[in-house]
Amino acid sequence: MTMKTGRAFIGALLCALFQFLTANSAEAAGRVVEIARGRSWVSPYWGYSSPKIVSDGRAYYTAGLWGPDPDSSAGVLYKYDGAAWHEGAHLPDIYQPVTMVLDRQGRLIAAHTAQSKPVRIYRSNVPGNIDELDRLPSPPDMKNAYYIGIAIREDTLYLAYLVTPEYSMFLSSLNLTSLEWAPSRLVCPGQAEHKPKTAWTYPILFPTKEGLHFVASNAPDGGEGNTYNQVWYLFYPNGAQEPAVREMVAATPMGHMSYATDLAVDASGTGHILFLWNQRKYGEPLPPDSPPPGLYHAWRDGTSGVWQRARLLPSGYAGFFQSDRDLIAAAASNTAFLWQGPREGWKTAGPLCETSQMPGAPGFWDVISPASGSDLSKGLAIVTDSLMPAEDGQPQERVLWAILPE
């Protein structure tokens, strides 16, 4: 292929993508499909750190969380077969919501936390079944778990979790063939005696053939201000007990936001992070010459190891979608952005769906990821939720909905 024809070929690919994501209604990227309605004390998609939607190429899977308080809540599995969402198994004694992946046989693996207990992990007994689940073992050295993040590659399930009351973060992995856990590794010791606290939360895991990429956000004032002041990136080469890379990607004074919403690793091995930065919740304003608040993208130069940063949006949040050739940021403002590389940056690529189809403003937001073991061949898929206006003094109804490929 000559340089001229190569450019023409790349141009044709980009043109096709932009036509797919244009603003006119007939060509919007996806369609809105309602999953379920009910009342819950918290969003079932709480936390941007771990997969909430997966696909085996034939169906999509997600989970709800219903109940007025943590003591009476249950998780519910859902499957979309192309015609409708179907309800499956109920998961009792649930605290923080269900996160899920698919193993190499296409069996759904669902994990969630329970208050003051080890993580609970289930696996469907056959591919496609969301009614009959087998309980998998929890890590034998785990006393409790919160803010879990999971990911999968081949026959290894990766799990990161925070332990209380120490607020230390650990990492472990399960061999899905032998069902044996590796000993949990201390990732970051906690410190909760004084503020700013050290408490890594919302771990995002992305395994590759070279090793495990890991991102977490620190909560310096959890239980009070509930802000996040640091975004950390780690890389564990295969077989390594300690990370080869441990770097702080973003930081702010306590009371201002540095919070990661997604992680992707492209074909070249470059790590990409989406994160909120410099939003003020309390405290003294940042210096006037500080970068403006917004949603940022950071990527690590593979040669120099230096993190580069670019502002994507002045507000809001987003997740990554990776096709075979492109990196897309899908924003909750109903906009897709296409990454053109470090020189050209991000380019707006149109809406994700018809705004008129959305039942309400998106709440938490999760984009399908290769780290979940999903088949991404059908394209971009998202799950989110909306709270409906209160009526007659009743608690607000929550609607779960998805944006699925046409």
| Whether 270 and 389 share a structural domain | no
Asked if 51 and 372 count as a contact pair (C-beta separation under 8 A), the reply is yes
| Whether 356 and 244 share a structural domain | no
| Whether 312 and 235 share a structural domain | yes
User: Is residue 295 domain-resident?
Assistant: yes
User: Is residue 106 domain-resident?
Assistant: no
Asked if 63 and 75 count as a contact pair (C-beta separation under 8 A), the reply is yes
We report the CATH number of the domain holding residue 177 as: 2.115.10.20
Residue type present at position 64: G
Q: What is the mean pLDDT of the chain?
A: 92
Asked if 114 and 93 count as a contact pair (C-beta separation under 8 A), the reply is yes
The last residue of a domain, from among 284, 316, 348: 316
| Whether 290 and 163 share a structural domain | yes
| Whether 289 and 364 share a structural domain | no
| Whether 273 and 334 share a structural domain | no
Local confidence band at 313 (pLDDT 50, 70, 90 cut-offs): very high
| Whether 37 and 163 share a structural domain | no
Name residue, tokens 């769906």.
353
User: Is residue 110 domain-resident?
Assistant: no
The last residue of a domain, from among 316, 336, 362: 316
Q: Which two tokens stand for residue 119?
A: 């993580």
| Whether 51 and 62 share a structural domain | yes
- Predicted pLDDT of residue 10: 32
| Whether 345 and 296 share a structural domain | no
What is the extent of the structural domain holding 345? 32-87+317-406
Compute the average pLDDT of residues 97-109. 98
Separation between Cα atoms, residue 321 and residue 96, nearest integer Å: 24
| Whether 149 and 255 share a structural domain | yes
Residue 363's contacts (CB-CB under 8 Å, 6 or more residues apart) are 43, 45, 384, 385, 386, 387
Count of domains observed in the chain: 2
Question: Is the whole model's pTM more than 0.75, yes or no?
Answer: yes
Local confidence band at 90 (pLDDT 50, 70, 90 cut-offs): very high
Q: Is the pLDDT of residue 20 over 60?
A: no
User: Is residue 115 domain-resident?
Assistant: no
For 84-136, give the DSSP string: -EEEEEEE-S--SPPEEEE-TT--EEEEE--TTS--EEEEESSTT-SS-EEEE
Q: Of 262, 203, 258, which Cα lies nearest the Cα of 234?
A: 203
- Predicted pLDDT of residue 49: 87
Compute the average pLDDT of residues 15-21. 39
Q: Is the pLDDT of residue 28 over 90?
A: no
Compute the average pLDDT of residues 146-164. 98
Q: What is the pLDDT of residues 174-216, one digit of tens each?
A: 999 999 999 999 999 999 999 999 999 999 999 999 999 999 9
Compute the average pLDDT of residues 244-248. 97
